[in-house]
């Protein structure tokens, strides 16, 4: 598989919306730390292109001196797509002189927790029942994961960057 990563362009918008809707039920993402709902399809990001097809998407936002990953989706798992997408945003953060990259995931997402910690992210906070509260803003958030784990809490992770 040939894998390249490039910035999202305006011409990708239909595919970006399709990927976000397929994974997250829409393009709106609740950023509880900011107390806001964000349209992830309008954020900067990168796509992974595998054998000529878009096979992954990462979006990020810059705020208050930090770069936060908002969404990450590998359409083929375990093929290095997630890692390649993280590498691209880490490079953006480094170029801007950011001290760290941050992200939030949910308590049920054991695959993502494994992936982020193997990459070098460290857990820095637990926001108990943050997802429960986020359902007031986005009622479509499922109650249970595919594994049957109640989706309730947010976990905050950070990756320190070399200056």
Ligand X SMILES: CC(C)(COP(=O)(O)OP(=O)(O)OC[C@H]1O[C@@H](n2cnc3c(N)ncnc32)[C@H](O)[C@@H]1OP(=O)(O)O)[C@@H](O)C(=O)NCCC(=O)NCCS
Binds ligand X by CB under 6 A, chosen from 42, 63, 65, 77:
77
58 or 97, CB closer to ligand X?
A: 58
Under rule CB under 6 A, residue 51 binds ligand X: no
Burial class of residue 32, CB neighbours in 10 A (0-12, 13-18, 19+): middle
Binds ligand X by CB under 6 A, chosen from 80, 94, 135, 137:
80
Tokens 């039920």 locate to: 25
Query: Please, what is the minimum distance in Å from the beta carbon of residue 3 to ligand X?
Result: 8
Under rule CB under 6 A, residue 112 binds ligand X: yes
Sole window of 60-68, 88-96, 111-119, 140-148 interacting with ligand X (rule: CB under 6 A) = 111-119
Query: Please, what is the minimum distance in Å from the beta carbon of residue 35 to ligand X?
Result: 19
- Can you read off the two tokens belonging to residue 146? 């595919």
Binds ligand X by CB under 6 A, chosen from 105, 127, 130, 154:
105
Question: Under the rule (CB under 6 A), what is the footprint of ligand X?
Answer: 23, 72-74, 77-83, 105, 109, 111-112, 115, 118
């Amino acid at each position: 598989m040939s894998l390249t990563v490039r910035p999202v362009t305006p011409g990708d918008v239909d595919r970006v919306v399709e990927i976000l809707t397929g994974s997250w039920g829409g393009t709106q993402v609740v950023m509880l730390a900011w107390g806001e709902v964000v349209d992830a399809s309008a954020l900067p990001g990168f796509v992974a292109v595998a054998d000529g097809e878009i096979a992954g998407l990462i979006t990020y936002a810059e705020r208050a001196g930090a770069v936060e990953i908002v969404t990450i989706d590998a359409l083929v798992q375990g093929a290095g797509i997630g890692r390649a997408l993280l590498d691209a945003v880490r490079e953006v953060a480094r170029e801007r002189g950011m001290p760290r990259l941050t992200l939030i995931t949910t308590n049920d997402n054991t695959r993502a927790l494994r992936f982020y910690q193997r990459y070098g992210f460290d857990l820095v906070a637990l926001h108990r029942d943050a997802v429960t509260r986020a359902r007031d803003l986005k009622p479509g958030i499922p109650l249970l994961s595919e594994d049957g784990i109640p989706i309730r809490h947010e976990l905050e992770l950070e990756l320190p960057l070399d200056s």
